[in-house]
Amino acid sequence: METINIIIDALPTLLSGVVLTIIITVISLIIALIIGLVLGLFSIARNKVLHWIATIYVDAIRGTPILVQILFIYFGVPSVLGMRVPALVAGIIAISINAGAYLVEIFRAGINSIDKGQMEAGRTLGFSYGETMRLIILPQAVRMMIPAFVNQFIVSIKDTSLLSVIGIAELTMAGQSIYSMNFRAFEILFVVGILYFIIIHILTIFSRWIERRLAIE
């Protein structure tokens, strides 16, 4: 009975952590989608400068741990610029640039999966390269990339747990703040794990549903 009471008392704080986790993830993924689209187009561009910008970004971000990126943005960059970056802002930037690097590859692969004849057909109809990409290629590619977007959303939700190192009260940090006071780490972390599982399981079911729908269509 005592365990149940501890969990019930902890739920409001943990649920507020869930809300913050989802907010951070959604904002970060919106920014990451923009990064992924722009640099994804850079990665397939004939211009070597644009191609190398995308390549260097992807290699640098994917080649370093996200925890290092979080600490670099929160502690490293401000120490050079002589300014303080709010923890929430630093966290969103870190998740965004990390997810963006993976979305670059998702966009690149998605665009390259569309038959090259589609581009040729669009240019034959009088569309510019940009118009053909926007009106013909991207709509088809994005449709195929939706399951990958959902999977990246799942990964980014897990990554937000690392933001506890800079004091952001997302779900993991909310759990830490509770068991540091009541010393019931097992019960609190068990509930934290269940909450993560519920969120991710719902997204996994959604991803599988989308894949089935796309396969049918």
pLDDT tens-digit readout, 10-30: 899 999 999 999 999 999 999
pLDDT in tens, 95-117: 999 999 999 999 999 888 888 88
DSSP percent split of the chain into helix, strand, coil, nearest 5: 90, 0, 10
pLDDT band at 153 (very low <50, low <70, confident <90, very high): very high
pLDDT band at 144 (very low <50, low <70, confident <90, very high): confident
Contacts (Cβ under 8 Å, ≥6 apart) of 157: 21, 22, 25, 196, 199, 200, 203
Return the CA Rg of the chain.
21
Lowest mean pLDDT among 96-110, 137-151, 181-195: 137-151
User: Which residue intervals of 160-184 are DSSP H helices?
Assistant: 171-182
Percent of the chain with pLDDT over 70: 98
pLDDT, residue 215, reads: 66
Query: Which of 35, 10, 23, 25 lies closest to 152 in space, CA to CA?
Result: 25
pLDDT, residue 216, reads: 54
pLDDT in tens, 191-205: 999 999 999 999 889
Q: Is the dihedral of CA 26, 31, 37, 40 positive or negative?
A: negative
pLDDT, residue 114, reads: 85
Q: What is the mean pLDDT of the chain?
A: 90
pLDDT, residue 217, reads: 57
pLDDT, residue 157, reads: 94
Q: How far apart are CA 161 and CA 95, in angstroms?
A: 11
Q: 117: part of which helix (H) or strand (E)? A: helix 116-124
pLDDT, residue 138, reads: 86
pLDDT in tens, 31-81: 999 999 999 999 998 889 999 999 999 999 999 999 999 999 999 999 898
CATH homologous superfamily, domain 2-216: MetI-like (1.10.3720.10)
pLDDT, residue 135, reads: 83
Report residue 124 as tokens. Answer: 């034959």
Q: How far apart are CA 22 and CA 28, in angstroms?
A: 10
First to last CA, the chain: 51
